[in-house]
Amino acid sequence: MKLLIVESPAKAKTISKYLGGDYKVVASIGHVRDLPKNNKKAIDIDKGFKPHYEVTKGKDVVLAEIKSLAKKASEVLLATDPDREGEAIAWHIAEAVNLKSPQRVVFHEITKEAVTEALTHPRKIDQNLRRAQEARRVLDRLVGYDLSGLIWKKVRYGLSAGRVQSPALRILMEREREIRAFIPETFWVITADTETPKKEKILFTCEKEPRDKKEVDTILEEGNKKAWIVADVKETEVARAPRAPFITSTLQQAASSRLGFSPSRTMSAAQKLYEAGHITYMRTDSTNLSQAAQAQIFKLIESEYGKNYLSPRTYAKKSKNAQEAHEAIRPTHAVKMSAGLTPDQKELYQLIWARAISSQMTDAKTLRTKISANTTDTSLPNFAANGSRILFDGWLKADPGARGEDVNLPALTPGESLKLLELKTEEKQTEPPSRYSEAGLVKELEKRGIGRPSTYAAIIRTLEDRGYTTKEGRSLKPTDTGDVVSTFLEHNFMEYINDTFTAEMEDKLDDIALGTREYEETLEKFYKPFLKDVKSKEKIDKLTTLGDAPAEFKCPLCGKDMIWKLGRGGKFMSCSNFPECLGARTAEGKVIEDAKPIGKHPVTGEDIFVLDGRFGPYVQLGEKTKENKKPRKASVPKDIKPEDVTIPIAEKLLSLPRVLGNHPTTNEPITANIGRFGPYVVHQKDFRSLKTDDVYAIELPRALEIFAEEKKTRRGRRKI
């Protein structure tokens, strides 16, 4: 028996159908090892950025089964996906189960022909590809860990940054700033409803869009009192060439614009189609079609549409590092016009099929018509009507969704009279640049060389999961959190998140895959200066890193300039003289009233504030100043609204923490308080939650009873 190891159970099921009883096909179910979450254990920088891998949770059973089967097998073949990620998974499996001489087989489509052919050409694991994936993983971990740690200190706890997600966020923020800075202008669209001598209606639009109302009135006045004629007729025959077969990025773009799919949704459906053997591998940057595939497509075109529709073509590769051994995304069997189990899979397959077939077809021929109209003395700006119609459908026969609608205009000749029915005007305003859609961002990332095809969906998903962007319709809009994080990184780490640096680093990682660059040298040249820069930024002042607020907003208390900050409720403006002054405004410019005291403490005479913090609203005794850096604070319970907090309630809340007395055994104090997870008592770092006892009324004897009970801990939570 021979053992064949693939990644997914679906792929294993499909391949098992093609192979006889000589093969046992099992799935690793994705990655089997990864870097631990503890970054200090994950990578040994001093030993050449050596990663320390741990078996992924739940994969012990999978690896045990593979190891058991491998001992009985005459040969072990690793058939994970045909990219650097798949190469890495193959290596991890071999390392984890200690395979002595594993063989690697690669196929780009799951068909009987492709699988059986691949099995006749086994090879060793490509260490260059594997190291390239490892370099990317290690680099992303180091950058994310160091930048995120700094952001926690300087902006807000829990935020993150990444080597590729941060440049993508910067692109979205650059567009957002353009939108904010945009000043709309008023203009007028002028249209002329006309009728030909044959009673054919035709609408002309003024090619000039006046900004001045007086000019609009002049055009209306002149146009209404003069005769109209056809000034010119131009007909141009235009050839529309088909587009290249899909690569990962163009598939995501087309699926977004034509089907409304997000990149993640597209890749999920494509993965299922690939595993079922319907399409070739869906992570590729090559537009190449194999000779066998082309032969299938040619035969189909001739039989379905006719020989005059066939036009064999090759397309230039999109990426300079595209691997021509890989293919474009195409149907594995051209004759199959429909495939897939779900509506998403069926729609996506049809899109892939149409694009692949049409790529080998003749140009479509379109007749574009432009008719110009004016008054007899041509004193007005030019008015025009545009139309188009298909003369020969060509490749559009296979891909009618790309056709568009014909706009037929009547046959007119220059000098022919026109009857003006009505001149209309519509006042409009110029629009700011539009926000990026998911498809638009993918296209922009590809154009700038940021990320790689397999990472685009993950980049967009990460930005949404982190709360840095939100979707408005199909548009990606940065949130206040995304704004602040991007601003911080742009002010302090622009060198590492600009297009040039990010694209060059991607090229260097590709060079490792090609074997022209060394793993350790590449990481060392980047990481040492990067770490030095991060450490130097630890000294910067927290507030000034978040950017200046608009100049028109001044502190509501002292009148000084405001600075952007980020709180639990989002972005707001804080006085630049903080902590001496507590003036604050919302992002819209309204004064934040809770920055003012609600009254004075009846005993100490200090001001009491109700504020909003990382873990929710809280009361604070006294102002935070240089002399009083840590004023007394107490959380506001969830059942009390911040606006309902009175002086007596605040006094009660500020009575915590309460020292109940000393423990009779240790003579150390026992304290009652409220924390992030609710009320508790504590003795020598032994925290016990209060389930039924009142934290404001509990006394020492009851606390001792609680400590005498066996401690219950949250499952998987570290004991404090």
Give me the phi and psi of 534, to 5 degrees please. -60, -45
Backbone torsion region of residue 622, taken as left when φ is above 0, otherwise alpha when ψ lies between -120 and 50, otherwise beta: left
> What's 381's DSSP letter?
P
Determine the distance from the C-alpha atom of residue 275 to the mean position of all C-alpha atoms in its chain, rounded to a whole number: 25
CA distances from 715 to 313, 362, 492, 568 (A): 61, 65, 40, 28
Instruction: For residue 281, indicate whether it is catalytic.
Output: yes
Q: How far is CA 13 from the centre of its chain?
A: 32
Query: Which SS3 state, helix, strand or coil, does residue 152 take?
Result: helix
- Report how far residue 78's alpha carbon sits from residue 655's, in angstroms, rounded to the nearest whole number: 65
Residue closest to 670 by CA, chosen among 711, 626, 706: 706
**Vertex 10: Cα angle to 6 and 13 (nearest 5):** 80
Confirm if 7 and 27 have CB atoms less than 8 A apart. Answer: yes
CA–CA distance, 192 with 203 (Å, rounded to integer): 6
Q: Which residue has the tokens 């098992």?
A: 16
d(CA 340, CA 332) in angstroms, rounded, equals: 13
Find, among 116, 33, 23, 119, the residue nearest to 72 by Cα: 23
Beta strands in 79-209 (DSSP E): 103-104, 186-195, 201-206
DSSP letter, residue 258: I
- In this structure, how many other beta carbons lie within 10 angstroms of the beta carbon of residue 324? 9
- Nearest Cα residue to 674 out of 618, 593, 602: 618
Q: Is the separation of the CB atoms in 574 and 565 below 8 Å?
A: yes
Give backbone dihedrals phi and psi of 445, rounded to 5 degrees, phi first: -60, -40
Pick the catalytic residue from 23, 274, 281, 305: 281
Residues involved in catalysis: 281
